[in-house]
Structure 1
């Protein structure tokens, strides 16, 4: 069956639980026939074009405790339904890299509505997946991007599917060592945020590991006194567009030496791509021009560009170099 792009959703029933427990129970009852609604920026677009057609939409907006941003000891906890505008304004001083990433999502209007949880869990933006092509991710037997127009696609981690993670906030949250809290019928659990995302090799039909009866409730980011962080994104336009590539860097310094380094790339792989080889060029060393250049070169090790996206190699090097230079100042 082909994916047909049209302009009105199929009929669905809107459910409005008042508690998290009720929402989880509804998710369990209806399974894959239901979808959770947060800010709606991704889901409503999918409903409109019938890329997804659930019988039930479970609105999470009336559930207390899913919004808000609070400091808790040596950490900041962000409710999954906090808007991206709220995240940007509330984290500028403590987590400048996250604030910058939130500020680069789409447009002010979308940031006023879109939630950080939705930004993390949004589906693939591949035009072949969202258009009238029946690709692997949609249940077909081919990746049209592999031999088609693939300027925006993956140079790392592609396996039958070469989509890229569309989230701007995911790379910096991975770099900061964040954890997410997930609630299901079995109870509450906390997982490292990099364990939230999946790859085509593991599951080609989804971008994350949440089940239909699981709700992402919050993100917790540790605060470290000597930490520096930044996020740099390159897109065709400064507003609206998704990243062609991005670099998120978090460093923990000890005098002039980098004690811990996390470099995470966005827009180049099906999930946030942690560049451990680049990190090794910085950890335990001075943050000088030579080491920064070595890290930039290491960041593209193992890349496998497609026919039209080899430019991402130079772009990734430049983004990593510029991010590290910014943090060295």
Structure 2
């Protein structure tokens, strides 16, 4: 995701908390409380750090954030550790696909606006984001058929749902339409054999790049995997839908200007859970005075200094 103050972070958090889940959202390294400016869309994780090991180290840190979140949930007494899911969007879908391949805590995984794990010279290898995408994917070349092997490992862990829009220029323009996924599914099955956990797909016609894990198909998938205490499939089917554009107008919640298009995040048909707009200040974890005192424990700047020293 972007960071924990982004609309879809707290919207999905409240939505699935109402279903009966314990939900963790967090700031990826280089965003909000994990960057010196405490800004959203700071994208410090895109800054190139010299050294051949650094992209893999940064990608590893972003994957470790997911692993630490699931480990935290698994040790809580109010969480059933056999029913943990990870919901990821865009860049997050890349990191979550790897986390799902190695973390047995994850029972269900949703990859939205991504999941197109391609081959040499493809979308992820060619990403202009060397540090958080291209470099880490290059580091997995030793696997061979990276996409099929990652999905095979995910199938050993549990179910995966891939959600994309047919007009997502970040996905479909890179030759990863349905025939691509059909071939990827076939190659994965050649590794696993028949497996009920081979990834499933949902396409949203004419939709662009979106966090679709707040939609009815995502909720139904999670209900079948996690069995929420407060929901049934019938209650999900009966829940009204609200577009994020209408929800933003109703509540005053902010959606980033580049995404204020019906094909993009404005047009997401979300389950209507009466989610309020949450002030940014209320979504901060560490009081400012304490954060100022311990910011070296949190921020990308400090991490990059230590990572470069460790790589020497």
Structure with the higher strand share, 1 or 2:
1
Name the structure with the higher helix share: 2
TM over 0.5, yes or no?
A: no
TM-score tier by shorter-chain length is: under 0.3
TM-score by length of 2: 0.26
The TM-score with structure 1 as length reference comes to: 0.25
